[in-house]
Amino acid sequence: MHTPSLRVAFIGNALPRRCGIATFTTDLELAVGALDEIAETTIVAMCEPGGNHAFPSIVGKTIRQEEAGDYREGADFINREGFDLVCLQHEYGIFGGDAGTLILDLIARLDAPLVTTLHTVLDRPDATQRRVMDAIIAASTRVIVMARKAREILIETYGADPDRIDIIGHGIPDVPLASSRDAKERLGFAGRRVILTFGLISPNKGIETIIEAMPEIVKRSPDVAYVVMGATHPVLHAEEGERYRDSLTDRVRELGLDDHVVFINRFVDRPELLEHIAMCDVYATPYLGVSQMTSGTLAYSHGVGRPVVSTPYWHAAELLADGSGVLVPFDNPAGFGPAIAALLGDETKRLAMGRKAYAASRPMTWANTALRYAASFRTACREGRLVTSDRPEPSGLVPDIVRGMLPSALPAMAIEHFTAMCDDTGIFQHAVHAIPDRDHGYCIDDNARALLLCCNLASGPDALLADRLSSTFAAFIQHGWNPDNRRFRNFMGFNRQWLEPAGSEDSHGRTLWALGSYSARAGAPGRARWAKGLFREALESVTAFTSPRAWAFTLLGLAPYCAAYPEDHAAARMRVQLAGRLEGLLRANESPEWTWFEGSLSYDNARLSQSLIVTGAAIGAPNLVDAGLRSLGWLIAMQTAPQGHFRPVGSHGFLQLRSMPRPFDQQPLEACATIAACAAAQGVDPDFPWRREAKRAFDWYLGANDLAVDLVDIATGSCRDGLHPDRANENRGAESTLSYLLGLADMKRLEDADRPDAVRAMRAMEPLSMRAVDG
């Protein structure tokens, strides 16, 4: 937990002003201000001409939109109060001057680093809009956008530095997924199917599109009601009153839809808004233009778990790409009727779509969004001081906040927690927080991983400790061998009693992986001979295995074993046989949209690809290498969040046939496997940025994840057991800690590979799977 130290000033609109930016800024300030590391927040609120708002006390300063002097006073207020960071909410139309030029004077005067959230990014700006945006980008230490398309435009149109852009989705309230029945009864819509559109009303929202589609929807669902909730946009109302709304109500009467279209003409607060979203069966956003970069209304509906039917404007196209909504082309307004009617008539599909939306939106709750903003703020504070070294250290900022940053250099290899998890039997399976949990005893899976880590540490500063511990893990594996059924047992109680006669095929394969590596890397010849003998004895059972992961783990063990003992022709034949099985599995399941070995994704996925890459390179089989690279590239795409960070397949989505992976619970095992697979791929395909993908996966441990939460204690080498939708799992068991340490070892070898003078040293310490890539 960070000591509260960071003081943040937000610039934007604020409630009770009635607009989306006001709601967003207020919600963001509230969520960020609730974080442990935030000492103080304030809002510098914009006031439109004629506006007279009763702002709450969190608004420390107001700026009249068209008064140039107010902008200078706003900067003076922020500097005088000594805020450590400024977060600007930029939207066209809320700042004074042509294209909002007056805000440039304020940001030019700031002493603190600036982080700017761009709510709109124009792909075809006019000259003044371009000048304003260029100036804001140049003044901002970090820029935050809410969609990948916005990032693309910033880079391609404005020449922005990609490394200074963060993608953080629109925040949403954290509410439970609930049936619409109760809300309908409370709001007077009991027994009806409800379509909802909400937000400030203006012609670009395309509400008439749904009204025109209603006759067809009514034919198929006579009980349907289309609820249009929201006041007319203040700017539109000032220019032409209620002309647009009146045109909509006139069309409703002409079509005879008075009983099926309901207008709620007011700006509603959050509780009322959420209750109306909870009431609806389908949410509709028929926006007329593609360049809508973000939509708070869409994000809220998605977050409440309601299926969306929408035109493919940029935000909707990205958010609904996973099948949590339906997209209707811009040039096909008649498509809304069939699309909405089909959902209203298929409750199973509609509810499943809503559940998918709800699960996918959990990383965007305001609490999680605040964590990601805080991570961006910490980066800005660090980078701001690096860029402006002559600027005095902000008085409120202490080193703790900097230590929360993703380090530019890899952490040191710390094994304090790893050794604390071990006794003279082996490594404990679980921990309660950071304390070994004896109740759950041991397993051969984790002792095999621990032996693999010792192989990695054999040539480093911890070599003596690794040599001593490896003897303990080897003894555990030997004791786990059951000669009666020629299988390894897996689970052992704290009383040293085995809990089953044979473990899973996967645990058997992982143990072979460790034995194969140890047979080639054990420091003492006697230990190497032991590992070789037990490997050969246990290898035969794999012939009857059906688990693809067991095949893959065995192949990863065969790589170092066959390199060390080329005379073992039976092992070489087994390697060809298992690799052929894996490649055949990929061919059988592969389709244009699905490049994977099975009809679902589950755990330790990247090991399947890694084993084919390693094997294909070692035996000179380009078809195996290609299969491994092809499947790994597809998996990486599946494991990349819309914001660009690593998002491993969540355990809640295991075994879902040919569906988008669920984001939670996320396991450290997946990052470790991805790092190792990318390291293997880098050895055979150096022109592709596999090293970058490995770093993306490793940074997941250090906070570049859906919750912006550090999962490791780099001082002790412990790693939390996973990432839930709202928090990290505070327990730090063997699998998680070993996954982090093995991943770190692979990252250090990749880093060393960039140093030509260190190649010999790297070769001495590289993992055997990597050595096998080179033959």
Cα atoms in the Cβ-side hemisphere of radius 13 Å centred on 30 = 15
Q: Encode pLDDT of 416-460 as tens digits.
A: 999 999 999 999 999 999 999 999 999 999 999 999 999 999 888
Instruction: Provide the pLDDT confidence category of residue 659 given band limits of 50, 70 and 90.
Output: low
- Residue 59 in domain: yes
In 109-167, the DSSP E strands lie at: 114-118, 142-145, 165-167
* CATH code for the domain in which residue 635 is found: 1.50.10
- Residue 621 in domain: yes
Q: Do 769 and 735 fall into the same domain?
A: yes
Q: Do 483 and 595 fall into the same domain?
A: yes
What's phi and psi for 267, nearest 5 deg? -85, 120
Q: Which helix (H) or strand (E) holds 61?
A: strand 59-64
Task: Give the CA angle between residues 740, 417, 723 to the nearest 5°.
Answer: 45
What's phi and psi for 338, nearest 5 deg? -60, -40
C-alpha–C-alpha distance, residues 535 and 769, integer Å: 16
Q: Do 733 and 618 fall into the same domain?
A: yes
- Residue 76 in domain: yes
C-alpha–C-alpha distance, residues 258 and 450, integer Å: 70
* The total number of residues written for the chain in this structure: 775
Q: Do 248 and 142 fall into the same domain?
A: no
Rounded to a whole number, what is the distance in angstroms from the first to the last CA of the chain? Answer: 47
C-alpha–C-alpha distance, residues 374 and 405, integer Å: 10
Q: What is the mean pLDDT of the chain?
A: 89
C-alpha–C-alpha distance, residues 529 and 525, integer Å: 6
C-alpha–C-alpha distance, residues 468 and 426, integer Å: 12
Q: What pLDDT score was predicted for residue 4?
A: 60
Cα atoms in the Cβ-side hemisphere of radius 13 Å centred on 766 = 23
Q: Do 356 and 433 fall into the same domain?
A: no
Per-residue burial over 682-711, b if 16 or more Cβ lie within 10 Å, else e, is bbbbeeeebbebbbbbbbbbbbbbbbbbbb
C-alpha–C-alpha distance, residues 373 and 27, integer Å: 13
- Residue 105 in domain: yes
User: CA dihedral in degrees (737, 738, 741, 744; nearest 10)?
Assistant: -110
Q: What pLDDT score was predicted for residue 294?
A: 82
Q: Are 625 and 617 in contact (CB under 8 A)?
A: yes
Q: Where are the alpha helices (DSSP H) in 280-346?
A: 296-304, 314-319, 336-344
| 310, β-bridge pairs | 285, 327
Tell me: pLDDT of 702 over 50: yes
Q: Encode pLDDT of 560-608 as tens digits.
A: 999 999 999 999 999 999 999 999 999 999 988 899 999 989 999 999 9
Cα atoms in the Cβ-side hemisphere of radius 13 Å centred on 275 = 13
Q: Which of 146, 189, 192, 179 is nearest to 165 (CA)?
A: 146
Q: Do 49 and 187 fall into the same domain?
A: no
- Concatenated DSSP letters for 9-58? EEEE--TTS-SHHHHHHHHHHHHHHTSTTEEEEEEEEEE-TT------TT
Specify burial of residue 476 (Cβ count, 10 A radius: 0-12, 13-18, 19+). Answer: buried
3-state secondary structure at position 194: strand
Which of 464-467's residues contact partners 24+ apart within 8 Å by CB, and which partners? 465/415, 465/419, 467/523
Q: Encode pLDDT of 544-559 as tens digits.
A: 999 999 999 999 999 9
Q: Encode pLDDT of 715-763 as tens digits.
A: 999 999 999 888 899 999 999 999 999 999 999 998 887 654 433 333 3
C-alpha–C-alpha distance, residues 357 and 346, integer Å: 17
Beta strands 308-310; 435-443: pairing state: unpaired
Q: Do 470 and 379 fall into the same domain?
A: no
C-alpha–C-alpha distance, residues 688 and 332, integer Å: 40
| 145, β-bridge pairs | 167
Quickly tell me which residue has 């089953």 as its tokens.
Answer: 500
- Residue 568 in domain: no
* CATH code for the domain in which residue 201 is found: 3.40.50.2000
Q: Do 352 and 475 fall into the same domain?
A: no
Q: Do 154 and 81 fall into the same domain?
A: yes
Q: Which of 407, 415, 400 is nearest to 457 (CA)?
A: 415
Other residues' Cβ atoms within 10 Å of the Cβ of residue 353: 22
Q: Do 278 and 151 fall into the same domain?
A: no
Q: Encode pLDDT of 608-654 as tens digits.
A: 999 999 999 999 999 999 999 999 999 998 898 877 789 998 876 55
Instruction: Provide the pLDDT confidence category of residue 3 given band limits of 50, 70 and 90.
Output: low
C-alpha–C-alpha distance, residues 332 and 145, integer Å: 29
- Residue 57 in domain: yes
Tokens of 275: 């209750």
| 646, β-bridge pairs | 640
What's phi and psi for 764, nearest 5 deg? -70, -25
Q: Are 44 and 25 in contact (CB under 8 A)?
A: no
- Residue 151 in domain: yes
| 45, β-bridge pairs | 12, 62
Q: Encode pLDDT of 292-324 as tens digits.
A: 778 888 999 999 999 999 999 988 998 898 888
- Concatenated DSSP letters for 207-246? HHHHHHHHHHHHHH-TTEEEEEE-PBPHHHHHHHTTHHHH
Q: What pLDDT score was predicted for residue 689?
A: 84
Cα Rg, the chain, nearest whole Å: 29
Q: Do 152 and 187 fall into the same domain?
A: no
Q: Do 163 and 197 fall into the same domain?
A: no
- Residue 575 in domain: no
Tokens of 280: 């609806």
DSSP 8-class letter at 490? -
Question: 410 CB contacts (<8 Å, ≥6 apart)?
Answer: 698, 744, 747, 748, 751
Count up the domains in the chain and report the number: 3
Domain holding 454, by residue range, is 416-440+450-496+581-773
Query: What percent of the chain is predicted at pLDDT more than 70?
Result: 92
